[in-house]
Structure 1
Amino acid sequence: MTAIWVIWAAVLLDLLIGDPRWLPHPVIGMGKVIRRVEGWIRHRATTAQGLKRAGILLPVIVAGGSFVLTWLLLLLCAAIHPWLAWGAEIVLIATTIAVKGLRDAGLEVYSHLCSGNLAKARYSLSMVVGRDTDHLDEPEVVRGTVETVAENIVDAVIAPLLFALIGGAPLAMAYRAVNTLDSMVGYKNEKYESLGWASARLDDIANWIPARLTAGLLTVVAAMFSLQWKQAIAMVKRDARKHPSPNSGFPESAVAGALGIRLGGENSYQGVISFRAYMGDPECALHAEHIRVTTRLLLGVSILFTVLGTAVLGLITAAGGALWL
């Protein structure tokens, strides 16, 4: 049953302090390792085919290494004292989730819009998205914020918590490594199409179940908050698979349906226009309040999944078939 309390303590720790800048974050270390391994690979593989084969090494080295190093660290802590191992595991799992950080990022944009400072709202949005924000009007700033918060519920909350429930901090840290790899090398462009294909595919696989779980949880929480939960179900069925990502469309379409808004449309990336399929019906115009409601959905889904996940883990443990490694 210790595993259950570790998960809850990690979630509460994230809700309380998030990711303070003074605390070294594992993702920074992962990023440095990824760049070094990438450089090592590119020095030795000079053809597209060679890069494609070598691309398999990235998730093996980075994700596999993250799992092993975390496991060894916890083993060392346990040899010193069990409480040290529990404390280390709580902190490590907390670094893989970002409920507070994602919520704060959304509410920062919301606060600037409420005070009428569109320029600051654009800047705050630019810190969490890759699209150009300099010329966005208020509805487009709202759209970008809602899309970002909705999409990241999967990889910032549900997926790492799911893997933590299955395999503790080692598996949660391996997932975070996969997600970091995808954000750094998982692009379909000339530079990374060959090298990053394995990392991008593994990230899609890792998020497949969490994305669909998130859509279901969003529907339940929407019903709890007296939002349009039936419309959320309908939009997931109709629009989720229109998204270029096999996973991101599920939380985005669920949020669009629950709020009665339309997401998607034209985005600009370094001046290049890209169209993303529409999700949801424009029953009402986008406004700042939609950001606040989306952050409430984020918090509700995070707590609901923690309750349900630890309850299932408790039942499995009681039945003698614990999943905890």
Structure 2
Amino acid sequence: MFVNIIIFLLFCYIVDLIVGDPRSWPHPVKVLGKAINFIEHKCRITGFSLRKCGFIVLFLGVFLILFLVSLCISLPFFGLVISLYLGYASLALGCLIHETRKAQKLIAGKNIQQAREAVACLVSRDTEHLDQQGLYQALAESVSENYNDAFCAPFMYLSLLGVPWVWAYKFVSTLDSMWGYKVSHWKDLGYAAAKADDILAWIPARTGALSMLVASRILRLESSVSWSRIAGDARKTDSPNAGWTMSAAAHLLNVRMGGAASYFGKTRIKPEIGSGDNAYSKSKIDELINLIVLSSIIYAAFFTLIALIIS
């Protein structure tokens, strides 16, 4: 049993890191996205309360995902293959790093228009007017925030609760990423998904930030950074979870995050995170990627150990 857990989690982690998410391959999240778009259309034409629709879709979707995934992985022989695939596909760290490297290369080469398009694939903010520094900052903020969504949260649920539950989480996370915006068009329909995602990502956000702090000691980054400083800035953000890994990255790399940013054509002033005044550069993104990768190894080792203890 112990060996099986280690092999399974190690397989999922390594394959995700190496293979990532090739765009030509089918992926369950793409299926979820298409289904959610179809459901959204139906919700908006029913005339029923959008907030109630959001709750109904959330609860029915979670139960349906749990049933279907449990059914698939219980199949003789094919169940093991499906389980390995769904375990690997639930993680997105490899894809995050690959897309970050791609955008970083374009920014460093001053291919600004192409860089704006590449960064736009990773962030929800508007990128069409960002200069080189703005693009680097948007990239750094996105990578550090998405460390939680792409890896920490799914790995925790995968290791502790198994494949069906990690995909229940992925459904909630995908629903939140598509509907959970605080604008008039989405605020009612996405309310349930946003609240559910806040709850489910609460522990991973904080343990993810802690893994970054531990990793920074090995990499000999800013040794004076304390947990209280990270936590203090993390609590400035509107989201209860997004600020934790961002705050850790900002302090450990000695840069600033936050400030003015444009979303859907409207400028928002976000709280400033971090105390550094260093300019962003290609080397800073390199440091961030190294920090994220080492943090993920520490995080994976910790939750694999917890999975072994409770199994």
TM-score range, shorter chain: over 0.9
Q: Percent identity?
A: 31
* Corresponding position of 2:9: 7
Are 1:129 and 2:131 counterparts? no
> Which secondary structure does the structure 2 equivalent of 1:230 belong to?
coil
Answer with 281-290 or 178-187: which moved more: 281-290
* Corresponding position of 1:164: 158
Q: Distance in 1 between matches of 2:264 and 2:308?
A: 49
* Corresponding position of 1:319: none
* Corresponding position of 1:120: 114
* Corresponding position of 2:194: 200
**Which residue identity lines up with residue 202 of structure 2 in the other structure?**
W
Residues 88-146 of structure 1: CA deviation (Å, up to 9, x unaligned)? 21210111111111111111122123323233322211121121222212211111000
Contact 1:211 1:247 in 2 (8 A): yes
Q: Distance in 2 between matches of 1:202 and 1:229?
A: 35
> Which secondary structure does the structure 1 equivalent of 2:240 belong to?
coil
- Aligned pair in 2 of structure 1 residues 55, 265: CA closer, same or farther (>3 Å)? same
* Corresponding position of 2:265: 271
Q: Distance in 2 between matches of 1:137 and 1:279?
A: 20
- TM-score, with normalisation over the residues of structure 1? 0.90
Q: Distance in 1 between matches of 2:216 and 2:127?
A: 29
* Corresponding position of 1:30: 32
Contact 2:73 2:79 in 1 (8 A): yes
Q: Distance in 1 between matches of 2:125 and 2:277?
A: 25
Q: 1:40 aligns with which of 28, 42, 48?
A: 42
Contact 1:74 1:88 in 2 (8 A): yes
* Corresponding position of 2:89: 95
Are 1:304 and 2:304 counterparts? no
Q: Distance in 2 between matches of 1:130 and 1:226?
A: 32
| TM alignment of 1:205-284, pairs within 5 A | 205-231=199-225, 233-284=227-278
Q: 1:291 aligns with which of 280, 285, 294?
A: 285
Q: Which runs of 5+ in 2 are unaligned?
A: none
| CA RMSD in angstroms, aligned pairs only | 1.6
| TM alignment of 1:168-183, pairs within 5 A | 168-183=162-177
> Which secondary structure does the structure 1 equivalent of 2:281 belong to?
coil
Q: Distance in 2 between matches of 1:32 and 1:271?
A: 26
Aligned residues: 309
Point out 4+ residue stretches in structure 1 off by more than 3 angstroms. Answer: none
How far is 1:229 from its partner? 4.3
How far is 1:181 from its partner? 0.2
Q: Distance in 2 between matches of 1:285 and 1:257?
A: 13
How far is 1:276 from its partner? 0.7
Q: Distance in 1 between matches of 2:298 and 2:305?
A: 11
Q: 2:132 aligns with which of 128, 138, 141?
A: 138
| TM alignment of 1:29-68, pairs within 5 A | 29-46=31-48, 50-68=49-67
Contact 1:232 1:253 in 2 (8 A): no
Q: Which runs of 5+ in 1 are unaligned?
A: 317-321
How far is 1:35 from its partner? 2.1
Contact 1:132 1:271 in 2 (8 A): yes
How far is 1:194 from its partner? 1.6
Contact 2:90 2:154 in 1 (8 A): yes
- TM-score, with normalisation over the residues of structure 2? 0.94
Answer with 251-260 or 285-294: which moved more: 285-294
> Which secondary structure does the structure 2 equivalent of 1:264 belong to?
strand
Residues 3-61 of structure 1: CA deviation (Å, up to 9, x unaligned)? 22111111111112111123211111111221222233333334xxx222222111112
> Which secondary structure does the structure 2 equivalent of 1:243 belong to?
coil
Answer with 23-32 or 174-183: which moved more: 23-32
> Which secondary structure does the structure 1 equivalent of 2:260 belong to?
strand
How far is 1:234 from its partner? 4.3
**Which residue identity lines up with residue 138 of structure 1 in the other structure?**
Q
Q: Distance in 1 between matches of 2:14 and 2:215?
A: 19
How far is 1:192 from its partner? 1.9
- Aligned pair in 2 of structure 1 residues 89, 119: CA closer, same or farther (>3 Å)? same
